[in-house]
A = this chain, B = another copy of it.
Amino acid sequence: MNKLEKLFDRIIGKVNISLRGFNFDAKEYLKYLQNYIPLRQLVKFYAFYGFIGHQPFNFHFSRSNLAGSYFLGNCMVDNAILYKSDIRGDELKSKGDTINYQDIYFTLDHDEKVRIQDSILIKTLVHNCSNDPANFELFLIKNAASAPYANIHGSLVEGCFLGPFATADLTRLHGCILGTYAYVQTGELWKENIGNGRILIRNDNNFEFSYRFSPRVLDRYIRFKIGQQPSGIFIDFIRKRKEAFQQIFDAVNLEPPPMVPKSSSLSRYAVVRPKTHIGENVLVSQRAYLENSFLGNGANAQENCYIINSRLKGDNVTAHGAKLVHARLAKNVFVGFNAFLRGTADCPLDIGTGSVVMPHTIIDLKQPVAVPANHLVWGYIQHPDDLKYNSLSLKKFAAVRLKKTIKTMKFSGNGAAFVQAFRHRIQHILEANGAYFDGKHNRGHAQQEQDISFNIIQPYMTGPRKGLFPTLDIQP
């Protein structure tokens, strides 16, 4: 057994200890990962990191395998296995920033860092900054394991297991399990098991939004059984487009397509197929897939998102892992994490101005559907009639004061606060991504990442360290 295999077992042991008490055998799930990603896969793919002149960065990697993973900003990785994951430390807090946490003010002593220790992350996205009030300078992921297409977004994750397509969003997780396609945004969670297909948003005593996919529906889209690889429509969809990424990862330098305006940036690790139009102030991140689509001014396409035969009018957010097929989005439409929106040529999806598609929403059309402007959409939609039970105008939502239940969607608390929180966040995302750049002010990722440099690192190919990467420390 070489060092990497020992590391795998060591991490399994740590996750198991953290999750003792649940009727859940983390080891069995992780064993699947071990079969799914044998040593030869972990040796096969290079890792890469990007840096930009005016942005702070520090990469430190030791005793880890980083096969196929990408790093940006401040990232420390020790004793970890990161397989085709994206660790974006480019929205971290900076030294001198002052944070207001419930009217207690903190000023940061040093730049925040993403630190990943004793963890196995598979095709997982890590982004944003920590919301841990005890550790504003540390975005920690420790003793954790995640299955493919999980998102860890501004979330401390300690001693947890995240299922496939699960999202931890602005939530400190200690000793938790997030089931398949589960989404949480609750501030903090201690030793909870969030079941498959559950969507849970909770803001202290202000509001709670909850939805749960029926197991019958969820199984068609994504299922994850002990001893098996994740499968279902989500996986088939991604697998079908896998090869297009192969060639862009095999070339060191690709000429950028000429169609990208100066105010926009298109990652050279994104797939762009004809005929795609990219407007001003557009960010297209690595591992995004664009085909025959129009991205209007201020639109963005984040990691693991697919935009196919679609039209985004402008100022649109397509969050990490969201998929759009035959969709026409008016201005300011937001599509949340891992949402799956699939129309067809005959049954397109229209979404009106300012509407919000909740994270982890599935819209898979049998008939044309048009979501009106300024609506909130959630759950599972196939027909126009489904909108009755899976959408509500933002105005009506904001008017909710105590409780609102629509089939499996349960909302309680202050609707206005809920709507306001979403609006505020969408504004922040557009700002951070550079949608409001005027040629001088309001620079964001779209403008900053044009001049990125990429470095490529590889593991040992033989010997006891086979699959581990050397110890690297990179600074400006």
Contact = CB atoms under 8 A, between A and B. Distances in A.
Interface of A: 46, 51-54, 57, 249-253, 451-466, 470-476
Nearest to A471: B475
Nearest to A456: B456
Nearest to A50: B458
A452 B462 CA distance: 9
Contacts of A473: 472-474
Nearest to A53: B463
Contact of A472 (B453, B464, B474): B474
B252 A456 contact: yes
A53 B462 contact: yes
A470 B475 contact: yes
A47 to B, nearest CB: 9
A455 B454 CA distance: 11
Contacts of A250: 251-253
A452 B457 contact: no
B452 A455 contact: no
A458 B461 contact: no
A218 to B, nearest CB: 37
A470 B252 contact: no
B53 A460 contact: yes
Contacts of A453: 458-461
Contacts of A251: 250-252
B452 A461 contact: yes
A251 B253 CA distance: 8
Nearest to A254: B250
The oligomer's copy count stands at: 2
A251 B249 CA distance: 9
Contacts of A459: 453
Contacts of A253: 46, 250
A452 B458 CA distance: 10
Contacts of A475: 470-471
A191 B460 CA distance: 45
A25 B53 CA distance: 35
B454 A458 contact: yes
Given A453-B458, A458-B454, A475-B470, A252 B46 contact: yes
18 contacts: A46-B253, A51-B460, A52-B462, A53-B461, A53-B462, A53-B463, A251-B251, A251-B252, A252-B252, A451-B461, A453-B460, A455-B456, A455-B457, A456-B456, A465-B476, A470-B474, A471-B476, A473-B474
A181 to B, nearest CB: 33
A46 B53 CA distance: 16
A463 B252 contact: no
B465 A53 contact: yes
A472 B462 CA distance: 24
A220 to B, nearest CB: 37
Given A52-B462, A249-B252, A455-B458, 6 more contacts: A53-B460, A53-B466, A252-B252, A453-B460, A456-B457, A471-B476
A270 B51 CA distance: 29
Contacts of A464: 53
Contacts of A249: 252
A470 B51 contact: yes
A51 B472 CA distance: 13
Given A470-B476, A476-B470, A451 B457 contact: no
Nearest to A462: B451
Contacts of A470: 51, 57, 474-476
Contacts of A46: 252-253
Scoring A250, A452, A455, A476 by chain B CB atoms within 10 A of each residue's CB, the highest score goes to A455
A7 to B, nearest CB: 15
A269 to B, nearest CB: 12
A458 B475 CA distance: 13
Contacts of A457: 455-456
A78 B452 CA distance: 23
Contacts of A451: 460-463
Scoring A250, A452, A460, A465 by chain B CB atoms within 10 A of each residue's CB, the highest score goes to A460
